[in-house]
Chain A
Amino acid sequence: MEEAPLFPGESIKVIAKDVMYICPFMGAVSGTLTVTDFRMYIKSVERDPPFVIDVPLGVISRVEKIGVQSHGDNSCGIEIVCKVWHKESACKCAGFLSDQFPPLFAFSYKEKFAVNGWKVYDPMAEYKRQGLPNESWKISKINSTYELCDTYPAILVVPTSVKDDDLSKVAAFRAKGRVPVLSWIHPESQATITRCSQPSVGPNDKRCKEDEKYLQTIMDANAQSHKLIIFDARQNSVADTNKVGGGYESESAYPNAELVFLEIHNIHVMRESLRKLKEIVYPTIDETRWLSNVDSTHWLEYIRMLLAGAVRIADKIESGKTSVVVHCSDGWDRTAQLTALAMLMLDSYYRTIKGFEVLIEKEWISFGHRFAMRVGHGDDDHADADRSPIFLQFIDCVWQMTKQFPAAFEFNELFLITILDHLYSCLFGTFLCNCEKERLKEVSTKTISLWSYINSQLDEFTNPFYVNYENHVLYPVASLNHLELWVNYYVRWNPRMRPQVPIHQNLKELLAIRTELQKKVEDLQREAATRSISSSSDRGSSPSHSATPVHTSV
């Protein structure tokens, strides 16, 4: 009765009875605590319906013993702090909670899904969809053994004319060997988004002939423009401060390039901002100072900066027909945020469910966003300076876009929340490890992909308002009066913050009515057709609507 429901492959480690959970919203509840190799589960049957807390261990950031003034012999308290949303709790434990969480349940998870999500992303197919290779761009296997760059994927797209030797020299000049490679190409103008890491210019303004030539080649691959824009995501001043190990392209060394700083803060500032955000929404919200509190976290300012940066990139590509190079320091945090957002604005394919999965697989997972490090999977150093909510921030930007363009995305809010939940849960293999090379060993064979789960029940994740805005570039307005705090995600544990009943319900009913009517009309037409055949007068009217009603295109 009070036991945890288990996933296939999940096993119970500890069960403790008479544990008191102290809920900040409702007071104390006592029940049974179960710890498995995947989750911590507390269920109390004192309440109707039973009160349940179900937290994957991967979500837990830290567990602390709380100072107990002696009160009986075996009572102690622990406080559990989670990674993003905040369920801090305290238990009066009559038992024992393992402090050595067995990490990464994903390797034991044995659920069967109808779809294999590992097949969602095939780089060759994705590049082919973009019309690659073409006369200026080739698909290179130079990194097939991850020797050129160990944090890049095996398959890269680079200019046709570039020789492998030169590429190696460029790699030596770029931080962590992350050379400029193609992310996206405009189907008409051939303007491209390329991504890379900072050049190792250093304080003495070192130059690299091959790198300069390489960027010139990227520019030349687009006949429409005689300029190349380099977007450095960082703050100009910070890039100067940290010139020791890196730097940026000077206009004297790269005469046809224009360097633009997007002035986005680093991962540490973002981590700090999220921490402040936690404080204002948990455990209570100060109603009267809500807005200035939101302001003081700067969280939405940073969202605005990111969106504005991505809009500038997309605008250069779309209306300027100019190719762009995007980098930050190592090209795996802010760079991924910016290229992925710009691609989402430019290419309606990425606004479908499958397309968005491909976008994440490509720009984030395959290009080495260090998920394990940024999230801290199976790592107990909660104060690690490498942790930062970079991917969360990206999903927040996407959510802001779905708010601004409610009909332009095939997926709904639950889809985005689900992705974030499993960023931390360690139930699926999708977000494990730091790069493709690490992942290659066993992730795809021994774990299940998040997309297996999502794609086997697409209905739940589909936006009923979706209209395919084909070939339509979306420019979100990067203004604070169009941005709002994602309450359904950040404040969802607060019982006062019930998500409002979405109007989807009625729309779904309407869609159902339409499907039903379509069926009836078709039936009647079929009936009429058979009748009319018998009376030998042929009316060739066939049902004009497709059977899948959810997507009407414009």
Chain B
Amino acid sequence: DCFFYTGELLLCEASTVYKYIQEDGSNRGTCGKLVCTNFKIAFLDDDSASDDNEPQFKNKIVGENDITLQCVDQIYGVYDEKKKLLTGQLRKYPEKLIIYCKDLRVFNFCLRYTKEEEVKRIVSGIVHHSQTPKLLKRLFLFSYASAAPNNTDGRNQTVMFDTLEDWRDELERTKGNVKYKAVTTNEGYRVSEKLPLYFVVPICVSEESILKYQGRGIPIWCWSCHNGAALLKMSAFPKEQDDSTSQMQKAFLDGIYKTISKPPYELLKMDDLSSSLPSLQDIQTAYTRFKQLFLIDNSTDFWATDVKWFSLLESTNWLEIIRRVLKKAIEVAECLERQHTNVLLIEESATDLCCVISSLVQVMMDSYSRTKSGFQSLIQKEWVIGGHGFLDRCNHLHKSDKEEAPVFLLLLNCVWQLVQQYPPAFEFTETYLTVLSDSLYVPIFSTFFFNSQHQKDTNTVRVCCFVDAVGPFRFLTVWDWSVQFDPKAQAFLNNPLYAEKPKPDKSQRKTARFKHQRQLSLPLTPTKSSTKRGFFREETDHLIKNILGRRIGKFINSSDEPSNSFREFYDSWHSKPVDYHGLLLPHIDGPEIKVWAQRYLRWIPEAQLHGGGTIAMAAKILDLMEEVQSLQVKMDEEHSQAISGDVHSVPLLRNSARLSSLFPFALLQRQSIKPALPTSTWKDLEDEDDLVKRDDEFVDLSGGMS
């Protein structure tokens, strides 16, 4: 069957199932078969008359109607119009099934016309395979890898950090090799199963100290800044009841701090992330509330949410968490860049918020991390090899809800803020980040399906029972994008406006002037108004207080934040023109932190803009690039005086007027192009207000009504 992948097994199925979507207030259904395999839940359209217009952007692994088992978030059954969460054993079988996905799709299946036997089988099958605890070896990647043993590793240009060489190269690239060394102490996982096979520590740290507490209390190198200051992370000691043990640990730490605080090492600044950032629990709670805003059942739901949108959004706290994380990353960057101090991030395991902050700092400070391969290498370094517990944090095996926390998604959300604030600084697009977030739930790749390098290594060894199946499993890596997308679709992952090499010619790099910035757009007015910052507040404070009184004073004292060196750093950076290849600081003021619309709104038909969205601009740019290319070709041809005929015209595939903002995701989600009209209105809180009742032209009501 061409529908299944190698290693995929059909577990159960049901026919005469209707998948329906709401459109213009009524339900539109398609009849088909609902199946559940060891890889996914899929809906197979009965009249699968192959679509004429093959979408330009198609995932080869997960189709429009496919839900991988790990992508299922929650399943609800509808009994007599009442929604009920389905988990574990079922006594009664629902007439409707609603599946909420982790990539925010919502599927509605009607089982009313399905045979009772089949309903039982499919519902309990789906619930069992997607919602109940699972063994690691039951993940599809093992079936896939054993059935398709000839997978290439697809290393491309991403540095995997699974060899000593990779770490040495990274040290060399960042010029960290003077003060830091890659160690082999953990070969055979002698030190810890949580640490990678190879990692980097300060040269002065001995092998014994690494071994002493399974790597705890050891500063592990993440990255070195151009000025030599380094970003380090450390896994802290758990709170110890026993006094003598904790005394010993303290002494050990003091020793470590001492060795790495004296020259040639820079001053050390420690940051305990568990106290300076929201807890994983907070993050999980915020995200759970946040995503709920986008898991929309129907149009009525959508408009009901819309009325209270901003307040609902704020109450989730998700954007606030993003802001705090970005702010923390700026603080760290300030220490490294301006104060030339080493920064040591501390967290209990050093594999959650440490990964977020260290990755963000590198994205902000190292332009290599803003290229596609650089970003992928960074994810390998800090997350995959760094030992982030993807399996537990994503709860892929449904082992424990307590461990679940969207830490990696938090990073992607933060990076997205940077991408949308400074598009030319990134080689990849927001679409890249969106498909990367989707890949978290595609169990074909090993990348996001292990807790640590150790876990992957030990499970790669095959329990060999067949003669021909020798050697370890060979898993696919997500970085081989050709597995999911053909080259045409991959084009959407690359930013056509990436500001590639900085031009050496200084005269060309005039800063763009923005007339409207803080100036009225007056004709012929000179446009230099940018204000240099400086404070002569002290001399004027007296004047302000005494002469002008409180009225003005409140404006002056309004920015009395304690972390002034941070503010100064932030403000002074923002007052200069942006160098896309240098340090990049995100704007974190209120209006600048936004919702990642592509990821969160893409499946909501009501939110679709026909002919709009950022894709309209992208299409224009791609067309232009092709035109430039064809002109280039044409010119070369003219140069070589080829006698060939007319230059083939560029096929204009993209018609931005006909694409929708959901592109490249839901191409035909909504068939009609009727406008989505709000069905909700605000409850009038102001009805009592005299202003509201007035006519435009002011008439005194008391007089006029007599």
Partners in one complex: yes
Complex-state Cα separation, A67 to B677, whole angstroms: 52
Interface residues of A in 13-37 (CB under 8 A from B): 20, 22, 24-28
By the criterion CB–CB under 8 Å, are B627 and A514 in contact?
Answer: yes
By the criterion CB–CB under 8 Å, are A503 and B423 in contact?
Answer: yes
Q: Chain A, 273-294, contact with B by CB distance < 8 Å: what is the 0/1 string?
A: 0000000000111111111101
Contacts of B276 in A (CB 8 A): none
- Chain A residue at smallest Cβ distance from B674: A319
By the criterion CB–CB under 8 Å, are B499 and A506 in contact?
Answer: yes
Partner of B306 from A315, A330, A481 at Cβ < 8 Å: A481
> How far does the Cβ of B419 sit from chain A's closest Cβ, in whole Å?
11
By the criterion CB–CB under 8 Å, are A510 and B624 in contact?
Answer: yes
By the criterion CB–CB under 8 Å, are A521 and B696 in contact?
Answer: no
Contacts of A56 in B (CB 8 A): 520, 522
Partner of A269 from B311, B555, B692 at Cβ < 8 Å: B692
Contacts of B515 in A (CB 8 A): 414, 460
Q: Chain B, 571-606, contact with A by CB distance < 8 Å: what is the 0/1 string?
A: 100110110000000011111101101000100001
By the criterion CB–CB under 8 Å, are A479 and B589 in contact?
Answer: no
Contacts of A294 in B (CB 8 A): 310
A268-B691 in contact given A56-B520, A480-B309, A521-B631 (Cβ < 8 Å): yes
> Taking the complex as formed, is A256 at the interface, i.e. its CB lies under 8 A from any CB of chain B?
no
Q: Chain A, 236-267, contact with B by CB distance < 8 Å: what is the 0/1 string?
A: 01100110111000000000000000010111
Partner of A503 from B424, B521, B674 at Cβ < 8 Å: B424
> Taking the complex as formed, is A69 at the interface, i.e. its CB lies under 8 A from any CB of chain B?
yes
> Taking the complex as formed, is A421 at the interface, i.e. its CB lies under 8 A from any CB of chain B?
yes
Contacts of B621 in A (CB 8 A): 465, 507, 510
By the criterion CB–CB under 8 Å, are A48 and B548 in contact?
Answer: no
By the criterion CB–CB under 8 Å, are A481 and B607 in contact?
Answer: yes
- Chain B residue at smallest Cβ distance from A385: B698
Contacts of A425 in B (CB 8 A): 520, 522
By the criterion CB–CB under 8 Å, are B674 and A407 in contact?
Answer: no
Complex-state Cα separation, A147 to B555, whole angstroms: 53
By the criterion CB–CB under 8 Å, are A283 and B558 in contact?
Answer: yes
Complex-state Cα separation, A488 to B587, whole angstroms: 14
By the criterion CB–CB under 8 Å, are B532 and A47 in contact?
Answer: yes
By the criterion CB–CB under 8 Å, are B591 and A497 in contact?
Answer: yes
By the criterion CB–CB under 8 Å, are B696 and A328 in contact?
Answer: yes
A272-B691 in contact given A315-B677, A421-B520 (Cβ < 8 Å): yes
Contacts of B612 in A (CB 8 A): 404-406, 408, 474, 476
Partner of A477 from B623, B657, B676 at Cβ < 8 Å: B676
Partner of B678 from A308, A475, A495, A498 at Cβ < 8 Å: A308
> How far does the Cβ of B334 sit from chain A's closest Cβ, in whole Å?
16
Contacts of B555 in A (CB 8 A): 22, 24, 88, 283
By the criterion CB–CB under 8 Å, are A479 and B606 in contact?
Answer: yes
> How far does the Cβ of B457 sit from chain A's closest Cβ, in whole Å?
43
Contacts of A283 in B (CB 8 A): 555, 558
Partner of B549 from A67, A405, A520, A545 at Cβ < 8 Å: A67
Complex-state Cα separation, A28 to B553, whole angstroms: 11
By the criterion CB–CB under 8 Å, are B611 and A408 in contact?
Answer: yes
Q: Chain A, 63-78, contact with B by CB distance < 8 Å: what is the 0/1 string?
A: 0001111010001010
Contacts of B614 in A (CB 8 A): 406
> How far does the Cβ of A65 sit from chain B's closest Cβ, in whole Å?
11
> Taking the complex as formed, is B529 at the interface, i.e. its CB lies under 8 A from any CB of chain A?
yes
By the criterion CB–CB under 8 Å, are B548 and A90 in contact?
Answer: yes
A427-B698 in contact given A405-B612, A507-B624, A510-B624 (Cβ < 8 Å): no
Complex-state Cα separation, A511 to B621, whole angstroms: 9
Q: Max chain B CB contacts within 10 Å: which of A48, A68, A75, A497? A: A497
Q: Chain A, 31-64, contact with B by CB distance < 8 Å: what is the 0/1 string?
A: 0000000000000000111011011100100000
> Taking the complex as formed, is B639 at the interface, i.e. its CB lies under 8 A from any CB of chain A?
yes
> How far does the Cβ of A221 sit from chain B's closest Cβ, in whole Å?
25
> Taking the complex as formed, is A517 at the interface, i.e. its CB lies under 8 A from any CB of chain B?
yes
Partner of B524 from A7, A52, A288, A496 at Cβ < 8 Å: A7
By the criterion CB–CB under 8 Å, are B536 and A285 in contact?
Answer: no
> How far does the Cβ of A33 sit from chain B's closest Cβ, in whole Å?
16
The interface size of chain B toward A, counting residues with CB under 8 Å, comes to 131
Surface stretch bound by A, among B156-164, B439-447, B537-545: B537-545
The interface size of chain A toward B, counting residues with CB under 8 Å, comes to 137
Contacts of B578 in A (CB 8 A): 501
Interface residues of B in 301-317 (CB under 8 A from A): 302-303, 306-311, 313-314
Complex-state Cα separation, A525 to B303, whole angstroms: 58
- Chain A residue at smallest Cβ distance from B628: A514
> Taking the complex as formed, is A505 at the interface, i.e. its CB lies under 8 A from any CB of chain B?
yes
> How far does the Cβ of A181 sit from chain B's closest Cβ, in whole Å?
20
> How far does the Cβ of B115 sit from chain A's closest Cβ, in whole Å?
41
A22-B540 in contact given A308-B678, A487-B591 (Cβ < 8 Å): yes
> How far does the Cβ of B590 sit from chain A's closest Cβ, in whole Å?
3
Interface residues of B in 623-665 (CB under 8 A from A): 623-625, 627-628, 631-632, 634-635, 638-639, 641, 643, 645-647, 649, 652, 655-657, 661
By the criterion CB–CB under 8 Å, are B310 and A518 in contact?
Answer: no
Partner of B518 from A20, A268, A493 at Cβ < 8 Å: A493
Complex-state Cα separation, A245 to B571, whole angstroms: 56
> How far does the Cβ of B486 sit from chain A's closest Cβ, in whole Å?
25
Complex-state Cα separation, A460 to B634, whole angstroms: 31
- Chain A residue at smallest Cβ distance from B661: A404
Contacts of A237 in B (CB 8 A): 687, 693
By the criterion CB–CB under 8 Å, are B641 and A528 in contact?
Answer: yes
> Taking the complex as formed, is A499 at the interface, i.e. its CB lies under 8 A from any CB of chain B?
yes
- Chain B residue at smallest Cβ distance from A406: B617
By the criterion CB–CB under 8 Å, are B589 and A5 in contact?
Answer: no
- Chain A residue at smallest Cβ distance from B313: A291
A5-B532 in contact given A301-B682, A329-B695, A552-B623 (Cβ < 8 Å): no
> How far does the Cβ of A468 sit from chain B's closest Cβ, in whole Å?
9
Contacts of A492 in B (CB 8 A): 516-518
Interface residues of B in 86-106 (CB under 8 A from A): none
Could you name 5 residue pairs across A and B whose Cβ atoms are closer than 8 Å? A295-B311, A482-B597, A503-B497, A541-B646, A552-B624
For the complex with contacts A27-B537, A111-B523, A510-B497, 10 further pairs of A-B residues with Cβ separation under 8 Å are A20-B543, A54-B522, A71-B546, A272-B691, A283-B555, A284-B558, A467-B657, A497-B589, A524-B639, A552-B620
Q: Which residues in A have some Cβ–Cβ distance to B below 8 Å?
A: 5, 7, 20, 22, 24-28, 47-49, 51-52, 54-56, 59, 66-69, 71, 75, 77, 79, 88, 90, 92, 111, 235, 237-238, 241-242, 244-246, 263, 265-269, 272, 283-292, 294-295, 298, 300-301, 304, 308, 311-312, 314-315, 319, 328-330, 333-334, 385-386, 404-408, 413-414, 417-418, 421-422, 425, 427, 453, 460, 465, 467, 469, 472, 474-482, 484-485, 487-488, 491-493, 495-501, 503, 505-507, 510-511, 513-514, 517-518, 520-521, 524-525, 528, 539, 541, 544-545, 552, 554
Report the 4 A-B pairs with minimum CB-CB distance, sorted nearest first.
Answer: A290-B590, A475-B675, A480-B309, A24-B555
